[in-house]
Amino acid sequence: MPERRILLVGRKDSEILQFLEALTGSLPTQQSPESHAGLTHTLTLKTQYYTSTIPIWVDEIHSPTEWSTAYTSPEAKEVRQVLGAIIYCFKRPTTDTELDDVVKEDLKGVQKLVKACGYSWDGVCLAITMPHSMQPQIERSVDEWEDLTMEFGFEFVDFEAKGRNDYGEPMGMERLKEALEANDWNAPLSLGLDDLDDDELDELAGEDPVDQDGNVRNGLKLEANEMEQEMFGLHQAILGEMGEEEGDDDDDDEEIQVENLEAAMQRLQTVRDMVAELPADQKQAFAAKAVAEVMKTL
C-alpha cells in the first residue's frame, strides 16, 4: 500500500520553510528562491506505539481556483488517495481585505480538495498562522480564528503559541504534532467522487439492477432521506439493546458504540451531500457502495 503523505501548502510569502524547519528540525537540501512548490521532505513521528517517517509534499498557491481545479481533477486521483494530512500555512493578515481575499479564498480552495478526497477520508486538516513582521495586524481572538478555520473544516493552530490552554490542552506546534501523531497513517486509500469511472459505478451497483424505488440487494433505500431513516432506526435499535444490558463493562461498551454510531451518522451526512452532487444516473450506484461502507463501521 502506498505511504500516506502530508501536503503542506500556502502562499509564496507564508513562511512555509520556517514552519517546515520547526516541524521537522531541518530543511530540504534543494531549494529555489522563486518558489517552494515541488519541494519534498520527511517528518519522523515517534510515539509509544509506533515510529514512522512521513513524506511531505510542499506546494504553493497562486490562484485558489486554479490550484483546487488541478488537485480535484481526475489526473490528480493518485495524489488525493495517498494524502493523510493537509496543512495550510498563512501569515497573520494585516487587513480585513487580506483576510477575505487571501486566507478565506485559500481555505475555500483547499476545502474543495478535502471534499474530493471522498466521504471516507479521515485525514488531518490544520490551518497554521505564521507571524507577520508588518504592523498593525488584525485583531482576532483564538476563538474567532478557530471558528473561521473550522468553517472550512480546518483546526486552527497559532505557530507562536506556547504551553497549554485553559483546558490543559497543548497549543502551537505541540498541538500540531499531537494531531499528526494521532492520525492513522496506515488507513486505506480514500474513495472520491472523481475516482469512479463508468465500469466501477456499474460494478458498485451489483448484479441485480436498482429498481425505481432505489432498492438493492441489501434492502437499503438509497434516496438520501431514506438512508437517514435507516440509520435512525439502527440508532434506536442499538440504544434499545444497550438499555437491556447491565454492569460497568456494559457502560463502557455503550459509550464505544455510541461514539461509533455518531461517527457513522456524520459519514452518512457527508454521503448525502456527495450524492446530491452526482448526475442522476450515478446517484444510486454510488450510494449503494457508500452506505455499505458506512455499515461496515458499526
Residue-by-residue DSSP string for 43-108: EEEE-SS-EEEEEEEEEE-S-HHHHHHHHTSGGGHHHHHTEEEEEEEEEPPSSHHHIIIIIIHHHH
pLDDT band with cut points at 50, 70 and 90 for residue 260:
low
Please determine, looking at this structure, whether the domain spanning 5-181 carries the CATH number 3.40.50.300. Answer: no
Residue 71 has a CB neighbour count (10 Å cut-off) of 23
Report pLDDT digits (tens) over 47-72: 888 888 999 999 999 999 999 999 99
**CA 276, CA 290: separation in Å to the nearest integer?**
13
Q: Provide the β-strand partners of residue 272.
A: none
- Rounded distance between C-alpha atoms, residue 56 and residue 5, angstroms: 6
Mean pLDDT of the 40-45 span: 94
Residue-wise burial string across 82-109, b where 16 or more C-beta atoms lie within 10 A, e elsewhere? bbbbbbbbbbbbeeeebbeebbbebbeb
In this predicted model, what pLDDT tens digit does every residue of 70-88 receive, in sequence order? Answer: 999 999 998 999 999 999 9
Looking at residues 150-175, what average pLDDT do you find? 92
- 103, 90 contact by CB (below 8 A): yes
Distance, in Å, from the CA atom of 38 to the CA atom of 31, rounded to the nearest integer, reads 9
- Tell which wins on pLDDT, 129 or 240: 129
pLDDT at residue 136, rounded to an integer: 62
* Positive or negative: CA dihedral 59, 61, 64, 67: negative
At how many degrees (to 10) do helices 172-181 and 16-24 cross? 70
Q: Which of the residue ranges 108-112, 225-229, 286-290 has the most confident prediction, judged by mean pLDDT? A: 108-112
Q: Is the pLDDT of residue 285 over 80?
A: no
Domain boundaries, the chain: 5-181, 196-296
Question: What's the chain's average pLDDT?
Answer: 77
3-state class (DSSP) for residue 210? coil
**Residue 110 pLDDT greater than 50, yes or no:** yes
3-state secondary structure of 42: strand
Cβ neighbours around 117 below 10 Å, total: 24
* C-alpha separations of 36 from 22, 54, 132, 158 in Å: 16, 19, 19, 22
Cα 226 vs. chain centroid, distance in angstroms? 26
- Only one residue has cell 497549554, namely 164
Q: Is the pLDDT of residue 176 over 90?
A: yes
Tell me the three cell numbers of residue 19.
Answer: 514552519
Distance CA 125, CA 149 (A): 10
Q: Is the pLDDT of residue 237 over 60?
A: no
Residue-level pLDDT at 221: 39
* Span 188-213, average pLDDT: 51
- Answer with the residue of higher pLDDT: 131 or 230: 131
